[in-house]
Amino acid sequence: MDISKAIDLDKYRHRNVTFAVNASRSGKHTYSRFDLSEAANRGLQKQFPTWTVGTPGHRELEFRLDVTDDQAVFSYRLTDSAFRFRSEQRLFSIAALRPTVAHALVWHSRPGRDECFLDPFCGSGTIIAERAYYPFGKLYGGDISEVAVEAAKQNVASIDGAVIRRWDACNLPLEQGTVDKVVSNLPFGEQILDPGEIYDLYLKFFKELKRIMKPNGSAFLMTDKVKELLKVTDQFGLECYVELELSLKGLHPKVLKVNF
Ligand SMILES: C[S@@+](CC[C@H](N)C(=O)[O-])C[C@H]1O[C@@H](n2cnc3c(N)ncnc32)[C@H](O)[C@@H]1O
């Protein structure tokens, strides 16, 4: 494939730039990630003979090659590492998600232009702030922690129409049948609650969720307490299945979709 067409690298075609490809690999292969990275570097130099491989910290263009079994994703870095935390302009509460992960969750939920969107356990509002990159009808977030709510309010202060409240997600100040979409990083029972309290919390939360969701609404919920969540949704007769598995800070939470 001519990669210059895929990611518009033509402006660098005749320039002496430094570059490098970072590679990762999972599955059964006869080569290492270092072999991968060297092969990709050679391939790029063939297409761009004026480029030289840079050293870590000294490279003008950076690429990634992630191979999983027989699938490869080749990507070009558009932003520097500060962008991972939205250039340090955000406050993050305990158990906060990285904005990039929050954004991926929002994107995965296929944001609808006029939808009423809710994160009932919003912490410092990372998901709400990322959701605001797409058009929305209404945007609600809240948390039981006063500190988290204060951080979330600051984080979304510039977003017109975003409402952040202190609340208990099991008793929400929202009308019956009003919410189209929920994306939320649920308490897992690791940092905030005792694992034994999780099932009871999910049970009470779902009673409330069933009340406020519109028919055909959907929720994308991240947790590593999958058994507890499936047991609860089963009790309420809701369709619920695992859509994604993530690897985050040594944990492997899943994202489950619940249809109302
Ligand atoms: C995993 S964290 C969410 C972090 C958030 N996604 C972020 O990026 O900042 C779970 C949140 O649930 C909140 N929480 C726990 N029990 C709650 C309840 N009953 N009602 C509302 N929030 C609750 C905690 O205070 C915590 O902020």
Strand 179-185 and strand 116-119: the pairing is parallel
Instruction: Please name the helix (run of DSSP H) or strand (run of DSSP E) that holds residue 178, with its range, or none.
Output: none
Distance, CA of 139 to CA of 132 (rounded, Å): 8
pLDDT of residue 77: 86
Beta carbon of 238 within 6 Å of any ligand 1 atom: no
What is the length of the chain?
A: 260
- pLDDT, tens only, 47-102: 999 999 998 878 899 999 999 999 999 999 887 777 777 766 788 888 889 999 99
CA 102, CA 218: separation in Å to the nearest integer?
Answer: 17
Mean pLDDT of 188-211: 85
pLDDT tens profile 141-171: 999 999 999 999 999 999 999 999 999 999 9
The model carries a pTM of 0.82
Q: Ligand 1 centre and the CA of 31: distance in Å?
A: 43
Q: Going from the N-terminus, what domains does the chain have, and what CATH number goes with each?
A: 3-78 (3.30.2130.30), 85-259 (3.40.50.150)
Confidence of residue 249 (pLDDT cuts 50, 70, 90): confident
* Closest atom of ligand 1 to CA, residue 170: 19
- Is any ligand 1 atom within 6 A of the Cβ of residue 144? yes
Token pair listed for 6: 């895929």
The answer on pLDDT for 256 being more than 90 is yes
Whose alpha carbon is nearest atom 13 of ligand 1? 121
Atom of ligand 1 nearest to the CA of 93: 9
Q: What is the pLDDT of residues 104-114, one digit of tens each?
A: 999 999 999 99
Residue 190 pLDDT more than 80?
A: no
